[in-house]
Amino acid sequence: MTDGTHVPAPTADDADRARSDPWALHHLVGALDYAREREYRGWDLYDGESSRLLRAIPVDNKWVNLVFQQTVRRSPVNVRPLLGVEPRRNFMGVALFTIANLRAYELTGRDRFREDARELAEWLVENRSTGYGGFCGGHKHPLQGLSKRTLPNDPGIVGTTYAVKALLAAGEYVDPSYRDVAVTAADFVFDDLDYSSHPDGARIKYKPIDTGDHYTLNANALGARLLTNLYDVTGEDRLEDGARNVLDYVAAQQTDEGGWMYRDPPETSHLSMDNFHNGFVVESLLRYQEICGTERYADTLADALPFYRGLFTDEGAPRFDEANEYPRDVHSSAQGAVVFSMLGDEEFARRIIGWAVTNLSNRKGAFYHEKRRFYTKRTTLMRWCQAWMAHGISRYLTPALE
């Protein structure tokens, strides 16, 4: 794609905001520098099947795949180098880095951030999943589950949502043709994810390969967020209707405590009301109300916000879920910074970032995975740690750039 649009220069307000919190800007630039030095390639949470040692085994066995995958996932130290796990770019990670670089450009005016965003946005387009009705993508490594295996071309709604957000931002700041690509993602949601009516509204699958025996609630919320973002730029009624119907379904699944279980029905997952997945739901509800100018989910949010706030300590440390303090995951810190920034609670968003910098980073740009009760997993995962923290800090610094 070629550059064909005027690029808005950073405003005086943007510069003032950056100067008002140079500490946060320093950590944003550090996180992006770490990733840039590595060409935005790195390890991921479930990338054990990228092991050269595993690929050398002359059989393809589900249980062997799971052993490698869970070993790298659960080991208290990073064993990926020993197993020859290949650092790669991750689709969602690249999307988050695109957004964070554009925000850094808005804050600083440095062309290198915009140029990195351009290259990353182009990578998203070139590495999208093929064979589907619209723009979409997923992890670029295989992922073995107990019931099925996800292959590199298999897309999902979560990664696609953030890639659409990235392309819409790139369409504004780099090249308008990226917006045209992003808009096609609506067909992926409606057609490939089996958008279908439900007594409470409508629902979608997480991935096209899902069987429909369960639905992931935060993934449905993010799918609605994708449609909301596209409605914001196109004004198409079917996009607002689709987002509203899916969020009606999600809102109806809210528990008495105010949060959401991971899946419907709940017993199909070992997860309960964990931190960052609930953050996804809250973010999606807030975004819909902002764009559509409605208080439709005011009562839902009135119950959700105290519950979500309770997933953090007063010091800004994230709890894992409603029942467990540990592990304290960097992803939850990043998502907390996003949500509380959206709520206008910048003081608490900064406190969350501060806790992560103090407890889950080397304070030189690298962020770590999680803090357990008696030790810290000091593995830097490119998507899970770097991309998410860059996204969270950049959202805190640029409230006007969604």
pLDDT tens per residue across span 248-290: 999 999 999 999 999 999 999 999 999 999 999 999 999 999 9
Residue 23 near residue 30, CB atoms below 8 Å: no
CA 73-127-32 angle, 5° bins: 60
- The pTM of this model reads 0.93
Percent of the chain with pLDDT over 70: 95
Instruction: State the pLDDT at residue 382.
Output: 97
Q: What is the pLDDT of residues 39-58, one digit of tens each?
A: 999 999 999 988 899 889 98
Q: How far apart are CA 28 and CA 41, in angstroms?
A: 18
Q: What is the pLDDT of residues 336-355, one digit of tens each?
A: 999 999 999 999 999 999 99
Residue 25 near residue 10, CB atoms below 8 Å: no
The confidence band for 181, taking pLDDT boundaries of 50, 70 and 90, is very high
- The Cβ of residue 314 has, within 10 Å, a number of other Cβ atoms equal to 8
Beta-carbon contacts of residue 367 (< 8 Å; ≥ 6 apart)? 31, 330, 356, 360, 361, 380, 385, 386, 389
pLDDT at 8 over 50: no
CA 82-67-70 angle, 5° bins: 80
Strand partners, 201: 198
Q: How far apart are CA 294 and CA 202, in angstroms?
A: 19
Sign (positive/negative) of CA torsion 366, 369, 370, 371? negative
12-47+86-397 placed in CATH 3.90.1150.10:
no
Assign 3-class secondary structure to 166-226.
HHHHHHHHCCCHHHHHHHCHHHHHHHHCCCEEECCEEECCCCCCCCCCCEEHHHHHHHHHH
76 Ramachandran zone, left/alpha/beta (phi>0; psi -120 to 50): alpha
Q: What is the pLDDT of residues 88-136, one digit of tens each?
A: 999 999 999 999 999 999 999 999 999 999 999 999 999 999 999 999 9
**Mean per-residue pLDDT, 15-21:** 59
- The Cβ of residue 131 has, within 10 Å, a number of other Cβ atoms equal to 9
If you average pLDDT over every residue of the chain, what do you get? Answer: 93
pLDDT at 334 over 90: yes
Instruction: State the pLDDT at residue 16.
Output: 53
90 is written with which tokens? 């991750």
The confidence band for 163, taking pLDDT boundaries of 50, 70 and 90, is very high
Instruction: State the pLDDT at residue 58.
Output: 87
